[in-house]
Amino acid sequence: MLVLSQLLLADAILTCSYHSRFASAIAQRRSNYSLLKQLLQQPPVRAALALPVVQQLVACQVANLQRMAAAAPFSWHMPQANVPGNPEVQAFLQGPKQSFTISGSFSGIDQARKAAGRLVQTSSYSYGSHRCYGPTRWCSSNHSATVEARGTGRNAHVAIVKTVEWHKALLEAKKGHAQELQAVKQLLRKSAAAAAAVAVDVRRVADTTVDTIDLTSDGRKGVHKHDSTMACSSARKARQCAHS
């Protein structure tokens, strides 16, 4: 997609013909934040801020970042938590409660400790070191909690308690998105200024097509158009790119 954008924006005729479909295809992607971030860093894109296709891409990224940077009220929901093979624990992590207990299936504390150790290893990209005594820190990019085996005999169980680490990381990410939003808004202002400059150029080109009256060598009035063919052609192309 990056190569396609460079080829498209490097050719004025292709840009005028296909920018609407190109921009729509990107806007309709289910997750386009990362792609737009890469696109807007490309020199051909930044050099074409006056084009409607680039303005549409910038506006789409502004909308993405406004949503991603928005501060949400604190809750214990961790909606992207993923615990393969353990839907009950996954539902707990995604839900509103802070603590959860796995019980009724252990004959003693040793079984509960083994279950706690297996649980910590279930999530991809999780980190934490299982210990025989005390809570184990269980964190990933999508959740944070502690896991601890407790009790004795048939009363042995595994206690899972959510922590605020994931929320702190989320807030830091939102701060980063807020900073990025300001940079993209600045790009949006630049694209508006570039579009205004193009509009001025279009009017200037159009003005060169004004007819002038002069006398021919035989005394008759003649009409001369200064560079009218090239000027009209340039004006038409500029209007097409500016308004298509």
pLDDT of residue 207: 58
Is the confidence at residue 230, as pLDDT, over 50? no
E strand or H helix that includes residue 64: helix 52-69
Please state the pTM of the whole predicted model.
0.56
pLDDT above 70 coverage of the chain, percent: 65
pLDDT tens-digit series, residues 52-82: 878 888 888 899 999 888 877 899 999 999 9
- pLDDT at position 231 is 40
Q: Which helix (H) or strand (E) holds 214?
A: strand 212-215
Positive or negative, the CA dihedral 129, 123, 161, 117 is negative
3-state class (DSSP) for residue 224: strand
**Residue pair 240/20 in contact by the 8 Å Cβ criterion:** no
Output 138 or 51, whichever has higher pLDDT.
138
Cβ atoms within 10 A of the Cβ of 149, count? 27
DSSP lists the bridge partners of residue 149 as 158
The span from the CA of 62 to the CA of 186, in Å, is 10
* Beta-sheet pairing, 221-224 with 212-215: antiparallel
Greater model confidence, 211 or 204: 204
Report whether pLDDT(46) > 50.
yes
> What are residue 214's phi and psi, to 5 degrees?
-145, 170
Pair 52, 19: CB distance under 8 Å: yes
Q: Are 197 and 134 in contact (CB under 8 A)?
A: no
Please tell me what DSSP assigns to residue 147.
E
pLDDT tens by residue, 119-168: 888 764 444 444 445 688 898 889 999 999 999 999 999 999 999 999 99
